[in-house]
Amino acid sequence: MMRTLAVLAALTWLCLASVRAGKVGQQQVGGPQRHLVCYYDSASFVKEGLGKLVIDDLEPALQFCDYLIYGYAGIERDSHKAVSLNQQLDLDLGKGLYRTVTRLKRKYPNLRVLLSVGGDKDIETSEDAKDLPNKYLELLENPTGRTRFVNTVYSLVKTYGFDGVDIAWQFPKNKPKKVHSGLGSLWKGFKKVFSGDSIVDERSEEHKEQFTALLRDVKNAFRPDNLLLSTTVLPNVNSSLFFDVPAVINYLDFVNLAAFDFFTPQRNPEVADYTAPIYELSERNPEFNVDGQVKFWLRHSCPASKINVGVATYGRPWKLTDDSGDTGVPPVQNVVDEAPVGTNTQLHGIYSWPETCALLPNQNNIYSKGANAPLNRVTDPAKRFGSYAYRAADKKGENGIWVSFEDPDTAADKAGYVRNNNLGGVALYDLSYDDFRGLCTNDKYPILRAVKYRLSN
């Protein structure tokens, strides 16, 4: 009898303990919890006009995000320190955004706030900078530099109250695929001879090992404080060159695959194509799709639960010319990188979701002509490649546009892919390109909402 009681007591205790552990591990009960990682690029804070996203605009998003990743910090050339890229904005006493965003945790206690380093936003603009070597690789090559980085990134995190760091290391990118049409292929032959153009980094094996060491050191510095460490694989960075997946995955809480921008007007000025398809399009893009990137990490023993699929909230526009044809069916040849600049983002080669939305057929533009005529929207019922919209050039060769974009439905399809493959979640790039003002349908953050809904239902 005594023994039975003792066993019962022990069982009860175990049961209670596991319930408590379940709570701490955040709602593990009732199926896996998928993560929604929201990027906030603070460059949008300093814009003028409708593209300006201030902290009040951010708040409606935060109920949907498990992680807010604040972008972007950078590294200082030669000193190898982790630094703010805009000290006035980020650090200013009392009103700096580092403190402001980490304080949001008081209001949203389940939110974790990370600082991201790199993200293709750490660009030196001075005249001589373009001839200098990649400072991200230089840092890796220098053991003292690595230590310097680890110490300074740790100190930023601790000083401003972040929950950890996202390392979006600026590795060299794949060269864009050259297009060949008649004359073009001759030219391609020429170029090969002169530039030997397919090698991305001759010392990638070394850099891969050094990057593993860097992540290990950051994780070791973070461990006593239980700080989080994630990495972002930036668009067009070849994971197999720089990520020793089985080694680094031990140091990472999760990895965000920025699986978009496979095609961009900047990289591919002559041909327009889907920028972020989920699956391979015939033989056109064996590795340039979400599934290809995810499979690579899975194949190299990354647990599915640590993979977050990166989803862009923006589109990529090209200008169609006389010679682009009028069907819009991708790949579209003879395009140019000269689409009109979006009025909110004020950036070349990128349209935020509300900017694309305004070009699609709606009550305001249904009878408009010329430069204001609505684009034809082509959806993807098979949920494999995404949407595009286009307006063929007129007789003078003007007003042609072709945009590949993510909308709430296609973004939700990607969340569906995440669920079907039991992945960790979605990483959204970024909040400032979603419709945070509700200009399109009065709903604020429609892409974020659609992703959240599909991840949890």
Ligand X SMILES: *[C@@H]1O[C@H](CO)[C@@H](O)[C@H](O)[C@H]1NC(C)=O
- Facing residues of 335 across strands? 320
CB 243 to ligand X: min, Å: 11
Strands 35-41 and 67-75 turn out to be parallel
CB-CB neighbours of 454 under 10 Å: 21
By rule CB under 6 A, what string of x and - marks binding of each residue 51-90 to ligand X?
A: ----------------------------------------
| Nearest CA among 357, 362, 320 for reference residue 342 | 357
Q: Which is nearer to ligand X, 293 or 324 (CB)?
A: 293
Which DSSP symbol is given to 177?
Answer: P
**Cα 216 to Cα 220: distance, rounded to the nearest angstrom:** 6
Q: Which is nearer to ligand X, 98 or 242 (CB)?
A: 242
CB 68 to ligand X: min, Å: 31
Interface region with ligand X, contact rule CB under 6 A, candidates 238-246, 334-342, 395-403, 446-454: 238-246
Handedness of CA 288, 173, 317, 311 (dihedral sign): positive
CB 259 to ligand X: min, Å: 12
Q: Which is nearer to ligand X, 238 or 334 (CB)?
A: 238
- Facing residues of 167 across strands? 117, 231
3-class DSSP assignment, residue 233: strand
**Cα 386 to Cα 382: distance, rounded to the nearest angstrom:** 9
**Cα 37 to Cα 48: distance, rounded to the nearest angstrom:** 26
Q: Which is nearer to ligand X, 241 or 247 (CB)?
A: 241
Q: Which is nearer to ligand X, 290 or 455 (CB)?
A: 290
H or E element at residue 70 = strand 67-75
Interface region with ligand X, contact rule CB under 6 A, candidates 48-56, 181-189, 233-241, 412-420: 233-241
Q: Which is nearer to ligand X, 85 or 245 (CB)?
A: 245
Q: Which is nearer to ligand X, 116 or 236 (CB)?
A: 236
CB 179 to ligand X: min, Å: 16
Cβ atoms of 113 and 165 closer than 8 Å: no
**Cα 234 to Cα 258: distance, rounded to the nearest angstrom:** 5
Q: Contact with ligand X (CB under 6 A): which of 50, 179, 241, 347?
A: 241
The string of DSSP codes covering 272-293 is B--SS-SS--TTT-SSSSHHHH
**Cα 240 to Cα 220: distance, rounded to the nearest angstrom:** 24
Phi and psi at residue 349, to the nearest 5°: 80, 15
Q: Which is nearer to ligand X, 7 or 199 (CB)?
A: 199
CB 246 to ligand X: min, Å: 15
CB 268 to ligand X: min, Å: 14
By rule CB under 6 A, what string of x and - marks binding of each residue 431-450 to ligand X?
A: --------------------
Interface region with ligand X, contact rule CB under 6 A, candidates 234-242, 293-301, 371-379, 435-443: 234-242
Task: Number of residues interacting with ligand X: please give it, by CB under 6 A.
Answer: 5
CB 37 to ligand X: min, Å: 24
Q: Contact with ligand X (CB under 6 A): which of 238, 305, 376, 421?
A: 238
Q: Which is nearer to ligand X, 273 or 407 (CB)?
A: 273
Dihedral, CA of residue 41, residue 44, residue 50 and residue 54, to nearest 10: 80
Q: Which of residues 266-305 bind ligand X (CB under 6 A)?
A: 287
* Two structure tokens written together for 417: 């892919």
End-to-end CA distance of the chain: 47
CB 292 to ligand X: min, Å: 9
CB-CB neighbours of 17 under 10 Å: 10
CB 287 to ligand X: min, Å: 4
Dihedral, CA of residue 384, residue 389, residue 390 and residue 391, to nearest 10: 150
Q: Contact with ligand X (CB under 6 A): which of 240, 266, 364, 422?
A: 240
| Nearest CA among 204, 214, 128, 142 for reference residue 173 | 204
CB-CB neighbours of 162 under 10 Å: 25
CB 288 to ligand X: min, Å: 7
Phi and psi at residue 222, to the nearest 5°: -85, -25
CB 242 to ligand X: min, Å: 9
Q: What one-letter code names the amino acid at 46?
A: V
Interface region with ligand X, contact rule CB under 6 A, candidates 163-171, 235-243, 300-308, 335-343: 235-243
Q: Which is nearer to ligand X, 6 or 199 (CB)?
A: 199
Rule CB under 6 A: say whether 244 interacts with ligand X.
no
| Nearest CA among 153, 148, 294, 147 for reference residue 233 | 294
Q: Contact with ligand X (CB under 6 A): which of 147, 151, 174, 334?
A: 174
What ranges in 276-397 are assigned the alpha helix state H? 290-299, 353-359
Q: Which is nearer to ligand X, 174 or 305 (CB)?
A: 174
Closest residue to ligand X using C-beta atoms: 238
CB 208 to ligand X: min, Å: 10
Q: Which is nearer to ligand X, 18 or 240 (CB)?
A: 240
- Write out the residues near ligand X by the rule CB under 6 A: 174, 238, 240-241, 287
